Amino acid sequence: MVDLTQTPPNTSDALQRKLKRRAKISATIRYSVLALIGLIMVYPLIWMIGASFKTNAEMFSSPSFWPKEPTLQGYIDGWKTSTPYTFGHFFLNSLWIIIPKVIGTAISCTLVAYGFARFEFPGKNFLFATVIATLLLPNVVTRIPQYLLFRDIGWLDSFLPLWVPSALAGDAFFVFMIIQFLRAIPRDMEEAARVDGANTLQTLIYIVVPLLAPAIISVCLFQFMWTMNDFLGPLIYISSVDKYPVSLALKLSIDTTEAFAWNQILAMSVLTLIPSLTVFFLAQKYFIEGISTGGVKG
Amino acid sequence: MAELHLKSVEKTYGNGFKAVHGIDLSVKEGEFMVLVGPSGCAKSTTLRMIAGLETTTGGEIHIGDKVVNDLVPGKRGIAMVFQNYALYPHMKVHRNLSFGLKLKREPKDKIERATAEVSGVLQIEELLDRLPKQLSGGQAQRVALGRALIKQPEVFLFDEPLSNLDAKLRASMRVRITDLHKRLRAEGRPATVVYVTHDQVEAMTMGDRICVMKDGHIMQVADPQTLYQRPANAFVAGFIGMPEMNLVPAELTPGAAPVLTLHGQSITIADGLASRISGVQGAVTLGIRPQQLEVVAAQSDNALTAEITNLEFMGHEVNLHARIGDADFVAVVPSERFDTTLQRGDPVGLKPIGSHIHLFDAQNGSNISIAAD
């Protein structure tokens, strides 16, 4: 044991300075490593943004991300596309899928999760097991039966197969996520609301939904990003070009031209990223609260 | 305000566990009834059945002249204060208070008037624009109280409302709640209250009457004084009072001066017992409160000789723990009368005061010494 009372003051000062210096060095090393790895991970993205302002000729001649002669030509030509429609049209198509899907998911998953988390009803355990089972089922397995089903309903080449299942709480993952979040919320508030005279629906709307907000926002965000990025779904169900969402439209520019106009593809890829990034940063605070609470406390 | 009656109310859970065994309880209009008992005695379940938050599996609950068994909580004319306040965390205090009235679609000016009045009574006017997370425990509890008060319910239900507060605040809130109850009574709008607690101090100080429960049965319903002085059974006797009443097996020999024998020692109780125990003899449980167990010199006449096992100095009094065989006793002696030479391990005489002796049936625990009292 070191007897601190016996240590002269100047020694303890020196010791403190040493500790401080050590902490500084350690922090510098840690952050340098983090920054380096972060940069490696984000470099393709940075390169893509830079390259979208390059000419096609420059793109493969220099590895640097900074364009020598910055040009907006990629954006201008890319926006026009090789089809009769502008890229804006494809953005709108994506939007027509995303909006009903996100809203429907938020509402339906909240309702279903509320039911599972708070009510007793016959067959609850079996139904819940079914929901979890679908969570474990790989997507690919259901592709063909789903396709046949939607073909028989006559929904091929429409947006419906892309959003209706999700809007009817078809995404078990989100239901599960909200249930886990709900389990961490004490029931007293809901009981207080019932004593205050609220019926089940009023309790859900006035009390449960505000408490669930972080989880619901996370669900919306996930659904937004995943739908925006979904390529396989539209590829399977949508055949006419005028209904293509952006994910298919990007591929379109690769298909139709013989010499790929990479600068146009990259420029449109950058535009495609913007909505997801914007939404993510707007909702970041709630998003992190939502996934951490749901995950840790659940 | 209305009366509340429970008639053979039962609660059996889905797994077959019977939590409440057909209890009968009447709470008069404007009465402050405390349900008290150890944890697991179903006092909270009973309260939640009155509130409608738990279903009733048998019997009837009457509030006023209606049977409310099948009514949702909001239609029963009750208001409830929860243990952890259960304020709506996303609403400001003002909205927390007025939420119930808004759901009832009361006119706006009436809601404002009621909110102002209640926040005035509870002195929470300056808190109206705060969120629950910005309130201290005591403030949150006052808001929770306000949320109940604003509804002007037939019956107030309190579910251990003070157990989350520190001791000092608990004492002041206790006074505040009883004051409020008295004030409402004086203003001619008496509030019928059912108050659940596990804290006997709360029960004794707040209740007009107290209902002591154990394992889903009612043990006794009485005013605090009766409960303390004439407990109906050994459970109530042991539950009410600090420190707990001494309860030890003994043998009774009746007579003009009955004789109690325990662990080979016999004492004659000259006064205050014979008239109360006609026809009782044999094995009984002797009950005597620590405050009514005199400490005398060892080997004194008519005193039990015990060995001191522990001494607790409480300041104004001393708790003397002693043992005779395997029977433990506690005696409370005022500090000024305590013989400071006594040490752990010393022999000491214990003399129960005859008029305060309780005898309980050795089998069923019922008090057999109050019949003729």
- For residues A179 and A138, state if they share a domain: yes
The 10s digit of each residue's pLDDT in A133-160 is 888 888 888 889 999 999 999 999 999 9
Answer whether B94 touches A (CB < 8 Å). Answer: no
The 10s digit of each residue's pLDDT in B85-106 is 899 999 999 999 999 999 999 9
The residue from A42, A74, A106 where one domain ends is A74
- For residues A178 and A40, state if they share a domain: no
The 10s digit of each residue's pLDDT in B159-172 is 999 988 888 889 98
Band the pLDDT of A296: cuts 50, 70, 90.
very low
CATH of the domain at A175: 1.10.3720.10
Tell me the average pLDDT across B4-28: 94
- For residues A231 and A207, state if they share a domain: yes
The 10s digit of each residue's pLDDT in A176-219 is 999 999 988 889 999 999 999 999 999 999 999 999 988 999 89
A223: nearest Cα among A134, A102, A77, A114: A102
pLDDT in the model for residue A147: 93
Write the residue in A186, A189, A197 that is nearest to B88 by C-beta: A189
- For residues A67 and A125, state if they share a domain: no
The 10s digit of each residue's pLDDT in B283-315 is 999 999 999 999 999 888 889 999 999 999 999
Say whether B11 sits in a helix, a strand or coil: strand
The residue from A39, A74, A109 where one domain ends is A74
Residue B255 clears pLDDT 70, i.e. is over it: yes
Tell me the average pLDDT across A246-256: 79
* Residue A291 Cα, gap to closest chain B Cα (Å): 19
> How many helices (H) and strands (E) in chain B?
8, 20
Q: By residue range, what is the domain housing residue A285? A: 80-296
DSSP A204-240: IIIIIHHHHHHHHHHHHHHHHHHHHH--HHHHHH--S
The residue from A54, A74, A94 where one domain ends is A74
- For residues A204 and A66, state if they share a domain: no
- For residues A55 and A104, state if they share a domain: no
- For residues A53 and A103, state if they share a domain: no
Answer whether A124 touches B (CB < 8 Å). Answer: no
CA distance A31 to A25: 10
- For residues A265 and A289, state if they share a domain: yes
Q: Which residue of chain A is at minimal alpha-carbon distance from B159?
A: A188
Half-sphere exposure of A41 (CA within 13 A, CB side): 6
Bin B5: left if φ > 0, else alpha if -120 < ψ < 50, else beta. Answer: beta
Tell me the average pLDDT across A8-14: 71
- Look up the ipTM and state it: 0.85
Instruction: Give the N- to C-terminal CA distance of chain B in Å, as an integer.
Output: 36
- For residues A130 and A265, state if they share a domain: yes
- For residues A128 and A249, state if they share a domain: yes
Q: Which amino acid is at B176?
A: R
Using alpha carbons only, what angle is made at residue B334 by residues B331 and B337, rounded to the nearest 5 degrees? 105
Band the pLDDT of A255: cuts 50, 70, 90.
low
Q: Rounded to an integer, what is the distance from CA A104 to the centroid of its chain?
A: 16
Residue A258 clears pLDDT 60, i.e. is over it: no
Please count the structural domains in chain A: 2
Answer whether B164 touches A (CB < 8 Å). Answer: no
B contact test, residue of A191, A196, A206 with most B CBs within 10 A: A196
Q: How many percent of chain A have pLDDT more than 70?
A: 92
- For residues A68 and A90, state if they share a domain: no
CA distance A162 to A71: 37
Using alpha carbons only, what angle is made at residue B10 by residues B7 and B16, rounded to the nearest 5 degrees? 170
Which domains does chain B show, CATH number per domain? 4-229 (3.40.50.300), 244-361 (2.40.50.140)
Q: What are phi and psi of B156, to 5 degrees?
A: -95, 135
- For residues A176 and A208, state if they share a domain: yes
B155: nearest Cα among B20, B41, B45, B62: B62
Tokens 């397995």 found at: A141
What does pLDDT average to over chain B?
91
DSSP H stretches of helix in chain B: 43-51, 93-103, 108-121, 137-149, 167-186, 200-206, 224-229, 234-239
pLDDT in the model for residue A1: 46
pLDDT in the model for residue A291: 64
Using CA atoms of B42, B44, B46, B49 in order, give the dihedral in degrees to the nearest 10: -130
Q: What is the per-residue burial (b if ≥16 Cβ within 10 Å, else e) of B332-367?
A: bbeeeebeeebeeeeebbbbbbbebbbbbbbeebeb
Q: Which residue of chain A is at minimal alpha-carbon distance from B101?
A: A196
